[in-house]
Structure 1
Amino acid sequence: MRRLPLLLSTVALCGALAAFGALGRGGPDAHEPSADAARRPGTPSLSDGSLARAIAADQQRLRQLPDDAPGWARLGAEYVEQARLTADPSYYPKAEEALNRSMTLAPQSNADALTGLGALANARHLFGQARDFADQAITASPAHWPAYAVLADARTQLGDDTGATDAVQQLLDRRPGTASFTRAAYDLEQHGRTDDARAALRQALDDAYDPADKAFCQYQIAELDRNSGHTLDALTGYRAALNTDPSYTPALAGQARAEAGLGRTDDAVQDYTAAIARVPLPQYLLELGELHESLGHRTAAQEQYRLLTAEQRLAAANGVVDDLTLGQYQADHGDPAEAVHLLRAEWDRRQNVLVADALAWALHRTGADTEALPLAHQAQAHGWHNALFDYHLGEIERSLGQVVEARNHLDRALTTDPAFSPLHAPLARTDLATLANQP
């Protein structure tokens, strides 16, 4: 990134962080938590209860002042954030109504409402719409820095690599802080610059003063540790995030992931179950289902998969388009041909590395390895050190008889993160051992 090293050394001179509108972003997880309910830096610094009180206060105010355009924009942003915190997509139509009401009352230069509409579109996985709303907000108010966060998230998910980096840089230039440095860290990680990503997150953590922001940064550092195979360090990081903010559910789910990777499966099942009781994200349901499946708990696994599909139907009924998560599920646990259908549709909407990897794997599962191979290579184009990507590519190469390449990629997957999946990591080790005996 163009000026990131300078900003990393000078950001401590900048002013304090502020609470601002709902600006969710996609994370580095292979199951795509861009629709997750994790609180993101750049969202109101509120717990679930205090956010509910803020919503009630704004509702009361708008009954008295129904022509308050900024108030409707603020309420819409709060609804988007409440949907994230609770994993309840029924807040999305309410957010849309409030934000459109703001636009009707103030159709010119309403950057707050346009940014809110962009954040809502990102949450619904309508990334093209999110990009367009962010562009309109920036045109209306070029100094309105929250719009650059929405734009960075949208461009990242659309696979616009150069555009995403530029939007992150624009955000860094305007507001160095938790929201910008965590997005910079994700951009850096996707380009294989893990050490730089860690430095950005540590800078964000040093600058954060709100417990929720601190917990978010600690969680993201722990995610880097886990994705790099440092599972014990990751567990320590997740626990630190929970100590900072006990209500931070992603850290509880992260703790479960680390425990599963360390073989502490009873603890992992317990923590996953507790996380799902708080926020029933499809990502958590899929991970717990796969953990149960790896342990031979077939009935328990099927129950998690049933709940996952129910959550997906609820999300779709409220305007969320998430063929990626459903396609990933179908590829490994349902109908691979249906997975290909879903993921081709997703690929038509956005050519993101996560979608490239998922579609490649679904094609492999249907036996279409020749078509899958270039997509699997495309998923690796930015240099992201992603164990699951390497595993998928290695298995595709193995099916095509490319022994040396398959051996290299399966070995790299297990070197990067020996516990990258309770289901697939053992298969990778078995297949790698078999390939070791082949010329």
Structure 2
Amino acid sequence: MENQATENRRARLHVRVVTAAVAGCAVLGTALMLLPPERRVPRSPAPAPGAQALSAVAAGVPAALPDLAALIGARESHLRRHPEDAESWAVLGTAYVEQARRTADTAFYAKADGSLRTSLQVRRNAAALGGLAVLANARRDFRTALTWGEAARELEPKRWTTYPALIDAYTGLGDYKAAHGALERLMELRSGPAVRARAAAVYRDRGRREDAAAQLADAAAGARAPAERAEYLERAGQLAWERGDREDALRHFQEAVRIDPDQRAAQAGQGRALAALGRTTEALNAYRMALAKQPLPQYAVELGELYEYLGLGQAARVQYDLLLARVRSAAVSGADEELVLGQFEADHGDPASAVRRLGAEWRRQPGIAVADALGWALHRTGEDREALRYARIATDKAHGGGVRSALYAYHLGMIERELEQHAPARRHLQEALRINPYFSPSRVRAAREALAALGDVPDQDLPVTDAKAVTPRPYR
């Protein structure tokens, strides 16, 4: 009997457990049915191409060419209906400047100038003033850029996008202390990839290559759009090239083109690096591709010099003719190409003409690139003592900004050699080859030949340079 009672209790307990489990499942099932269905967080739609370019233009960062075209078309259409929109006129003008920069079509400069001045006529605003500063820098009119930039800063001192234009203007005028001060103010107002890229340029001009490279690496990593990242990678490649690292430079240039096929500066950079690696057929193709879409005079010079080095004089002449045509076209649009034209004339044309052009350029805007070019032009006309003054300015840390340039050191060394200052000449020619052993096929060969001719010379200290001898002064 007792066993039977125990079995009955077990059976009743089993029934209760099963019933509870079934009820629990039912409740859980009901609860699950009542829960809202799983929601997939929708991805934010990608901004329209015009919106992407608008963000880039407003922040002063590179924009993709298709996006720029969309932005320009949208703003032109909008302004036909709303011609009193000062902000849109300023955006359109700045977009035209970026379009000119990306395509080397200087006809956009006149459009930019008209749009930005219309913006000011509607209402005085810092965006238009800053845009005019950017335009003047693009035309290499640094004094005008400084005037517009200072006006924009006075109107809105905390508008951070004004300061990059001021940095460019100060640099073009050879005022590296003021450029550094503008950078410090910029960094107080803003951080991010665009500011890091701007800092890299200033550090590079001060000879701080490692700091510049670190800033560019961070800028590329933090860039929001492919065109922006590609531009920072191109600049990083240029830094690698300047220190003679051909392989690293080529990797940066190739990645930039992969990300943004319209990144023509990186294609020209590939030409530079491939030529240094002895891959001349690929180098020629890279230069041709860059020139086809962005026919900058500097690319034509580089390609022409490569043709000359390879013994293809007629092909070189075609490129030099292209350069002259582009310079004439740029002048019609208000762009100043006197520096590149003077450099070309000094080496491949009329050195006396180069001296006249570069002397006038120095009086207008005495940057270190102009000092180096003028010194070399004077050397080519046999005025080596005067040439030495400007070559020293270009390589002097106090006045020249401290940029480490193989070309500048080469020019200084060759001028010193002509003046029979053998020990300094030897040091500077060796320095050029240490900085970048591949900076120019023909010039590297000339530097090595000059060093061989100099032989072993006494290792004397360089002469102490009189500060007055390197202080920028008006040329003649």
Tell me whether 1:89 sits opposite 2:106 in the alignment. yes
Counterpart pick for 1:307 among 295, 319, 322: 322
Residue of structure 1 equivalent to 2:410: 391
1:414-433 correspondence runs (5 A)? 414-433=433-452
Higher RCO, 1 vs 2 (CA within 8 Å, ≥6 residues apart): 1
Q: CA deviation at 1:389?
A: 0.4
TM-score normalised by the chain length of structure 1: 0.89
1:93-108 correspondence runs (5 A)? 93-107=110-124
| Whole-angstrom CA distance in 2 between matches of 1:435 and 1:229 | 24
Residue of structure 2 equivalent to 1:230: 245
Say if 2:62 and 2:228, in contact at 8 Å, map to a contact too.
Answer: no
Q: CA deviation at 1:437?
A: 4.8
Counterpart pick for 2:389 among 369, 374, 386: 374
Which blocks of at least 5 consecutive residues in structure 1 are unaligned?
Answer: 1-17, 23-40
- The residue type equivalent to 1:433 in the other structure is A
SS at 2:168's partner residue?
helix
Say if 1:149 and 1:179, in contact at 8 Å, map to a contact too.
Answer: no
- The residue type equivalent to 1:144 in the other structure is R
Deviations 1:304-346 (A, max 9, x none): 0000000000000011122111100000000000000000011
Say if 2:62 and 2:231, in contact at 8 Å, map to a contact too.
Answer: no
- The residue type equivalent to 1:281 in the other structure is L
Q: CA deviation at 1:138?
A: 0.8
Say if 1:77 and 1:116, in contact at 8 Å, map to a contact too.
Answer: yes
Say if 1:323 and 1:345, in contact at 8 Å, map to a contact too.
Answer: no
Counterpart pick for 1:48 among 40, 51, 65: 65
SS at 1:305's partner residue?
helix
Which blocks of at least 5 consecutive residues in structure 2 are unaligned?
Answer: 1-53, 459-476
- The residue type equivalent to 1:130 in the other structure is A
Say if 2:303 and 2:319, in contact at 8 Å, map to a contact too.
Answer: yes
Q: CA deviation at 1:362?
A: 0.4
Q: CA deviation at 1:178?
A: 2.4
What is the aligned-residue identity percentage? 46
| Whole-angstrom CA distance in 2 between matches of 1:52 and 1:230 | 36
Say if 1:256 and 1:268, in contact at 8 Å, map to a contact too.
Answer: yes
Residue of structure 2 equivalent to 1:72: 89
- Cα RMSD (Å) of the superposition? 1.5
| Whole-angstrom CA distance in 2 between matches of 1:229 and 1:43 | 28
Say if 1:21 and 1:146, in contact at 8 Å, map to a contact too.
Answer: no
Residue of structure 2 equivalent to 1:32: none
| Whole-angstrom CA distance in 2 between matches of 1:332 and 1:394 | 16
- The residue type equivalent to 1:403 in the other structure is H
Counterpart pick for 1:162 among 174, 177, 195: 177
| Whole-angstrom CA distance in 2 between matches of 1:284 and 1:177 | 31
Tell me whether 1:402 sits opposite 2:421 in the alignment. yes
Q: CA deviation at 1:126?
A: 1.1
Residue of structure 2 equivalent to 1:180: 195
| Whole-angstrom CA distance in 1 between matches of 2:62 and 2:262 | 15
Q: CA deviation at 1:50?
A: 2.3
Deviations 1:142-164 (A, max 9, x none): 11111111111111111111101
Residue of structure 2 equivalent to 1:30: none
Question: Highest CA radius of gyration, 1 or 2?
Answer: 2
SS at 1:391's partner residue?
helix
| Whole-angstrom CA distance in 2 between matches of 1:432 and 1:225 | 25
Residue of structure 2 equivalent to 1:412: 431
Q: CA deviation at 1:177?
A: 2.1
| Whole-angstrom CA distance in 2 between matches of 1:406 and 1:229 | 21
SS at 1:21's partner residue?
helix
Residue of structure 1 equivalent to 2:25: none
Counterpart pick for 2:377 among 321, 337, 362: 362
Matched pairs, number = 402
Q: CA deviation at 1:366?
A: 0.4
Say if 2:339 and 2:370, in contact at 8 Å, map to a contact too.
Answer: yes
- The residue type equivalent to 1:209 in the other structure is R
| Whole-angstrom CA distance in 2 between matches of 1:264 and 1:97 | 45
| Whole-angstrom CA distance in 1 between matches of 2:160 and 2:446 | 46
SS at 2:187's partner residue?
helix
